[in-house]
Structure 1
Amino acid sequence: MSTSTVTAASAAPKKGGGRRKLTLPVVLLIIAGGLALISLVRLISGAEDITSVGQVAGALELAVPIGLAGLGGLWAERAGVINIGLEGMMVLGTWFGAWAGFQWGPWVGVLFGILGGALGGLLHAIVTVTFGVNHIVSGVAINILAVGVTRYLSNFTFANEPGGSSKQSPRIDSITEITVPGLADFLTDLQQKHWFLISDIAGVLGGLVTGLSLLTIVALLLIPGTWWVLWRTSFGLRLRSCGENPIAAETLGVNVYKYKYIAVTVSGGLAGLGGAFLAIVATGIYQENQTGGRGYIGLAAMIFGNWMPGGMAMGAGLFGFTDSLKLRGGAENVHAMLLLLAILLVLVVGWQLYKRKYVSAVISAAVSALLFTWYALTDQVPSQFVDAAPYVTTLLVLALSAQRLRMPKANGMTYRRGQGT
C-alpha cells in the first residue's frame, strides 16, 4: 500500500469545513474553568469532600476500568466493528485475571485477564468479520456467553479453594502502590485548608500521587499510546481507513480482514485488562457480576469522546468522578452536584442564545430553574438518586453531546473481500 497516497487523501480539505480541533492551551483553559466552577460550588454548598485527595484518588480508580473498556471500543470501532461485547470481555478479564492471580501472582493475573478478554474479542472478530453476523447480535451473545462460562468455571475452580466459593475467588495479592513522599503530604495539607481553587488543584494533584497502583500508571499510559499508534503510524492509518472506507483501503493494498481482526482482538484485550483491574486492584477479589455495566459505560465514554482517546479519557473521568461521589459523602456530594449542573445549564443557555437557538435555550433555562429550586428546598437527595447518579450522568452527557458526534463512516457495516473489484 502507498502510505503517502492515503496520507494525502486524509489531509485533503473536507467539504463543508469541519469543527476546529481543541488545542492543548484551550483544553487546559477548559479544565481550569471547570475546577474554578467546582470550587465555587464547594464553597457555596459546604461539600468540602468533592475535590479532596481521597475523592480524586477514588474517582481515578473507578475511572480506569471504564477508560480501558472505552479504549477497547475505540480500537474496534475505528476499524469499523461495533463492539457491544465489551461488557462480556471485561467479565472474562475479571475471571481469568483472578484465577491466575491468586495462583501465580497479580501480574500473571493481569496477563491472563488480557488474554481472556482477547479471546472474547477474537470470537467477536470471527463472527462479525468472517461470517458477517450483525455486530450488535454478536456483542450481546458474547455478553451472555461470558456470564455463563465464568459461572460454570467458578463452580469447579474457586469453589474448591480456601476462601473461595462458586461466586467469588480467594483473595489476590495486591500490586505495588506508589505515594510520592513529602509531596503527597504537602498537597493533602493544602487541600484541607479549603481555599478557593488552590485547595481544589491541590486535591486533584494529591489524588494523582497518593496510593497510585502501578497498573493504574500502565492504564494511563495506554491513552497517549493509543493516540500515537492510531494517529501517528502507518499501521494506525491503515486500521482507521478500514473503518472509514474499507473498499477504498482494499484497492490501495490494505488487508482489511487482518486489520479488523487485530483491532477487535486488541479491543477485547483492553477490556479484559479493565476487568483484571477490577478484580486485582480495585477489590482484590473476583465476584460474580463484578463489572456492573462498566463495559457499557466505557462504550458511552468513547461515544462522548467522539471516538478520540483524549475525549474518551475525559468521559471516563467524568463517569468515575460521579460514581465516586456516592462512596464519599453520598447524598451531600450529589446534592452539591445539583447546584453545579444548574450553573452549567445557565452557561448553556447563554451559549444557545448566542447561537440563536431560542427553543433549546428556553428548555435549558426551565431545567436549570427546576434544579436551583430542588437544591434550595432540600438538604440532600434520596438515596435512590445517589445510586442512579452515574447512569443518569451517562444519559445526560450522551444526550447533550449527540449533535457533535461523528463516528467512523463504515462502522458496523458488513465488508466482503473483493467488493471494490
Structure 2
Amino acid sequence: MATELTARKSAPDAAPPKKFKITWPIVLLGVAGLLTLLSIVRLITGAGDITSGGTVSAALSLAVPIGLAGLGGLWSERAGVVNIGLEGMLILGTWFGAWGAIVTGNPWVGVAVGALGGLIGALLHAIATVTFGVDHIISGVAINIVALGIVQYLSKLVFSGMRGGGETQSPRLPSIERISVPGIGEPLRQLEANGWFLVSDLAGLLRGLTQNVSLFTIVAILLIPLSFFVLWRTAFGLRLRSCGERPVAAESLGVNVYTHKYIAVLASGVFAGLGGAFLSIVAAGIYREGQTGGRGFIGLAAMIFGNWRPGGLAAGSALFGYTDALQLRQGGPSVHALLLVVALILAAVAVYQLVRQRRTRAAVITALVAIAVFAVFAVTDTVPEQFTSFTPHLTTLLVLALASQRLRPPAADGVPYRKGQAK
C-alpha cells in the first residue's frame, strides 16, 4: 500500500489544457483568411473599394493617431494609472504641433513640440493622480476640459493674427516627406485594376502599404514593437508592469513605484501628443479646432480590445482605421458590403463557440445576430448616410462588447497607491 501511495504521489499530474497562444503563423493565417473573405465579398457585392490601395492607405493614416493614443494608454495603465485624459493630450498635441511647425518652418520640430504639449497634459495628470491621489477618472476628464479651453484661447491669441489663420484654425503647415518603394507602384496598380480574386486584393493591400507613406507613419509603427521590447523584455519594463499589478510587492522589492508611475504617465502624454501632431501636420496639413474627433477615447477602446498588449492594440487600431476609411472614401456601398463581412465572421464565431468551446447558448445568440445582419444586408442596397458616419463609433461599441469576456486588465489599474500602505 505504501509503495502504491508513493507511486501515485511521484506520478506526474495530468497535463493542464493548453492555452491558446497567438503566434506569428497564426497571425499570418488570420490575415490571409481575412483577405480571402474580403475578396469574396468584393466579388459578390462589387464594392471594389473595400480592398483598394486607396482604402488601405487611408486606413493606415487614420489608424496612426488612434494607435499612438492607445499606446499612451497602454503605458499608463500598465503602471496602474487610468488615463481618460488621452483625448485632451491629443488636443494639446494638435495645437502645439501646428504652432511648432509654423514658428520654425520645420515639421519635425512641430512633431517634437506636439509631443511636448502632450507631455504637459500628462504631467498635470501624474501630479494629480500619483502625487495627490486624485481619482483617475476625475483627473482625466478635467484634463480633457482644460485642454480644449487652452487651445481655444491660444488659437484666438496666436493664429487669428496670422495670414491664412483664424480663431479656430491655423495657416497651412509644412509637410513631412512621403516615400514609396520604387518600381512596384504601377505593376501593383495594374494588378489591382484587373479585379482578380485574391491577387488584385493582395496587390491593393501592398500598394497601400508601400506607396506614398509618410515618414512619420513609419516612425509611429516602429513605436509599437519598441514598446513591446521595453515593457516585456527589459528589467525596467518588468518593474513598471509590477507597479500596475502588485505595487506593494514591487515596493517591498525596492522598486520606486512613484517614479515608475510618473515615467509611464509622462510617456503616455508623449505618445498622445505625437498622435495629435500627426493629425494636424500629416493627416490634415492644418490645425482645426475639434479635429481629434474623439480619437483619444477610440484609442482607449483599441487598447482594451488588444487586452493591454501592443499587438492587440495594433490590430484594434487597424480595425478602427479601416472602418473610418471606408465611410470616408465611398460611404454607403462599402459600409453595406461590410455588413456581409460582419455576418460571415459572426457565423464563423458561432461555429467556433459550438464546436470548440461547447458554449451552445452563446453560439445560438451569435448565430441569430449573424442572421439578422445578413437579413439587413439582403433587403437593402445601401445604408443611410447618418449610419455611415457613425460606423467607426459603432465598431468601437461592438468590439468592446464582444471582447469584454476575455479581458484581463492590470490588477491594480486605477487603484490609488500610497507608499507603505498595507497589502
| TM-score above 0.5 | yes
Partner residue, 1:308: 309
Identical residues among aligned pairs (%):
62
Distance (whole Å) between structure 2 residues aligned to residue 307 and residue 285 of structure 1: 32
Cα contact 1:345–1:368 (8 A) shared by 2: yes
Given candidates 358, 363, 387, the residue that maps to 1:385 is: 387
CA–CA separation in structure 1 for the residues paired with 2:275 and 2:187 = 31
Aligned to 2:95: 95
Q: Structure 1 counterpart of 2:381, which letter?
A: D
Q: How does 1:177-256 map to 2 (within 5 A)?
A: 177-256=178-257
Residue type of the alignment partner of 1:50: I
Letter in 1 for 2:372: L
Equivalent position of 2:293 in the other structure: 292
**TM-score, normalising length: structure 1:** 0.95
For 1:379 and 1:208, how far apart are their aligned partners in 2?
31
Give the match for residue 373 of structure 2. 371
Deviations 1:293-332 (A, max 9, x none): 0000000000000000010000000000000001221100
Question: One-letter code of the match for 1:260?
Answer: K
When the two structures are aligned, how many residues end up with a matched partner? 407
1:217-272 deviation per Cα after TM superposition (whole angstroms, max 9, x unaligned): 00000000000010111111110110010000001100000000000000011000
Structure 1 residues 336, 416: closer, same or farther in 2, change over 3 A?
Answer: same
Higher mean Cα deviation, 143-152 or 349-358? 349-358
Using the TM superposition, name which of 154-163 and 372-381 deviates more. 372-381
**Structure 2 residue 110 is matched with structure 1 residue 109:** yes
5+ residue gaps, structure 2, are: 1-15
How far does residue 27 in structure 1 lie from its aligned partner after superposition? Answer: 0.9
Once the two structures are TM-superposed, the CA of residue 181 in structure 1 deviates from its matched residue by 2.0
User: Considering only aligned residues, what root-mean-square deviation do their CA atoms show, in Å?
Assistant: 1.3
Aligned to 1:155: 156
Residue 72 of structure 1: CA displacement?
0.3
2:34 aligned counterpart, secondary structure = helix
Cα 1:17–1:291 change in 2 (3 A) is farther
Return the TM-score normalized by structure 2.
Answer: 0.94
Q: 1: distance between equivalents of 2:36 and 2:49?
A: 15
1:79–1:17 CA distance, 2 compared to 1 (3 A)? farther
Q: What CA distance in whole angstroms lies between the structure 2 residues aligned with 1:20 and 1:129?
A: 36
Match of 1:327 in 2: 328
- Measured against aligned partners, the alpha-carbon deviations of 1:381-419 in whole angstroms (never above 9, x if no partner) come to 100110011011111111111111000001000000112
| Match in the other structure for 2:408 | 406
Alpha-carbon distance in 2 for matches of 1:17, 1:154? 59
Give, in angstroms, the shift of residue 420 of structure 1. Answer: 4.9
Contact 1:251 1:420 in 2 (8 A): no
**AA in 2 matched with 1:270:** F
Q: Which AA in structure 1 matches 2:419?
A: R
What is the CA–CA distance in structure 2 between the aligned matches of 1:195 and 1:318, rounded to whole Å?
Answer: 24
Larger radius of gyration: 2
Paired residue type of 1:360: A
Q: Which runs of 5+ in 1 are unaligned?
A: 1-15
In the alignment, is residue 348 of structure 1 matched against residue 359 of structure 2?
no
The alpha carbon displacement at 1:17 in A equals 7.6
Supply the distance in 1 between the matched residues of 2:288 and 2:129 (Cα, whole angstroms).
30
- What is residue 395 of structure 1 aligned with on the other side? 397
The one-letter code matched in structure 2 to 1:391 is H
In 2, distance between residues paired with 1:92 and 1:192? 42
Q: Please say if 1:32 is aligned against 2:32.
A: yes
Instruction: Provide the rounded CA distance (Å) in 1 between the counterparts of 2:147 and 2:125.
Output: 12
Give the Å deviation of 1:182: 1.3
**1:66 corresponding residue in structure 2:** 66
> Take 2:64 and 2:240, find their aligned partners in 1: how far apart are those partners?
25
CA distance in 1, matches of 2:232, 2:77: 14
CA distance in 1: counterparts of 2:89 and 2:331, whole angstroms? 30
Deviation at 1:364, TM superposition (A): 1.6
